[in-house]
Amino acid sequence: MTDFPFQIVGFDLDGTLLDTAADLAHALNHALGHIGREPVSLDLARTFIGGGTGQMLRAALAHGGSADGIDVTALQDVLVGFYAENIARHTALFSGGEAMLDALAARGVHLAIATNKREDLARRLFDEMGLTPRFATIIGGNTLGPGRAKPAPDMLHEMVARCGGGRAAFVGDTTFDVGAARAAGLPVVAVSFGFNDLPPRELGADAVIDHFDELVSALEALSR
């Protein structure tokens, strides 16, 4: 199938392609417990996810009180260390994800990941889940250096370049994703089942889907 309108489709990872909330919440609560803070619920932890582990930790600390006197960098190392060792205990593709990836691959689409998660963690997670071979490139929040993670457009420009150029679209779940796509000049689809930091239809995406069964047709509609 060569008439599909996009040669490249990029995905955010946490809350878009994969439901990582439980594993991230366990790691977050491990770090909070390390300094004597109370754990947060899974539902609350979901609202902190999207901007990388540093932002997630800072949001949790602000929710529970002041971060004064806390070495946030060292605590983030505690969080990441625990997460790396327990990275795929509960994480799974969102419903319909595997069939959707198969459908895009069958259309000759280059699949890519652009996530604010550290690249080494994203690669470790994908390796453990057997997903790495599906993707032409995996770009993490630290891949290009400070200040270049989403919502900056740099990761999406790099994604297109690494995939050899062509018409690209992006799929995400937060304002970070929509902002990056807008800045990069790419059409963007939001998923309503992710870790949305605004109501899904207020994110400003070109389309919103409620299940991955809808993604191929949503992308086709964007070209009309």
User: Hey, which residues are catalytic here?
Assistant: 12
Residue with tokens 């790396």: 84
**DSSP state letter for 43:** H
Q: Are residues 13 and 93 in contact, defined by beta-carbon separation less than 8 angstroms?
A: no
Q: Is 60 exposed, middle or buried (0-12, 13-18, 19+ CB in 10 A)?
A: buried
Q: What are phi and psi of 193, to 5 degrees?
A: -100, 10
Query: Taken in order 67, 71, 76, 79, is the CA torsion positive or negative?
Result: negative
CA 14 vs CA 96, 116, 140, 182, 193: distances in Å: 16, 9, 12, 19, 11
Q: What are the tokens at 189? A: 């689809």
Query: Taken in order 10, 12, 15, 21, is the CA torsion positive or negative?
Result: positive
Q: Are residues 160 and 168 in contact, defined by beta-carbon separation less than 8 angstroms?
A: yes
Q: What are the tokens at 60? A: 């949790």
Determine the Cα angle at 67 with ends 175 and 52, to 5°.
30
